[in-house]
Amino acid sequence: MSLTPQESARLVAAVARSRDRDAFAALFEHFAPRIKTLLMRSGSTPSAAEELAQETMLMVWRKAELFDADRASAAAWIFTIARNLKISSHRGGSTALHAFDPHFGAQDPPQPDSILSGLEDARLVRAAMRALTPDQARAIEMAFFHEQTHTEISQALGVPLGTIKARIRFGMLKLRAIIERETRGPE
């Protein structure tokens, strides 16, 4: 199942509005495997990635009313939840869901350093994307920002599927190298 960004936002809104189980099932079916794959690609074991993907989707269920379509796409919001859970687990922090549950206390507002860190991350990614070939940048943009499958990208661009996969793979390797070099700083 593949969801457009508009469908994803509509489904999150349905979960927020009326705890729509069918909407949540569609979100889970679409996002859980993608989250697991992303986490495994970033170094998580399959079992840890599966657990974090399930925790992420449970957070989506519990916090759907906090989603703001004017600030981010549903995919960006969901993947940010996954990223934050992964960071918390790597820092040795609790990934227990009660730590994020608003019923157990008020959430702290974002701290200025975390806001600046997020802005810096966005700046770094934008700069790294400009270093890619136009074909690589377009394929990555379609896959990660527009949530299109490799097959959909292949059809939209009229390029063989293997070529799309290669553009994304080599583009991601180049992005990783650029970002790692930038975050390490001068040696």
| Rounded Cα gap, residues 183 and 52, in angstroms | 25
Two structure tokens written together for 71: 């600030």
93: CB partners within 8 A, 6+ apart = 99
Average pLDDT over residues 169-181: 87
| CATH class label, 1-107 | mainly alpha
What pLDDT, on a 0 to 100 scale, did the predictor assign at position 57? Answer: 93
| Rounded Cα gap, residues 7 and 3, in angstroms | 6
Question: For the domain 108-187, what is the CATH code?
Answer: 1.10.10.10
What pLDDT, on a 0 to 100 scale, did the predictor assign at position 34? Answer: 92
- 30 with 1: CB under 8 angstroms? yes
Q: Give the pLDDT band of residue 11 (cuts 50, 70, 90).
A: very high
What pLDDT, on a 0 to 100 scale, did the predictor assign at position 178? Answer: 83
| Rounded Cα gap, residues 159 and 11, in angstroms | 31
- 78 with 56: CB under 8 angstroms? yes
1-107 and 108-187 have identical folds:
no
What pLDDT, on a 0 to 100 scale, did the predictor assign at position 54? Answer: 92
Give the global pTM: 0.50
Q: How many CA atoms lie within 13 A of 162 on its CB side?
A: 0
Kindly calculate the radius of gyration of the chain based on its CA atoms and give it in whole angstroms. Answer: 17
Q: Where are the domains of the chain?
A: 1-107, 108-187
What pLDDT, on a 0 to 100 scale, did the predictor assign at position 32? Answer: 92
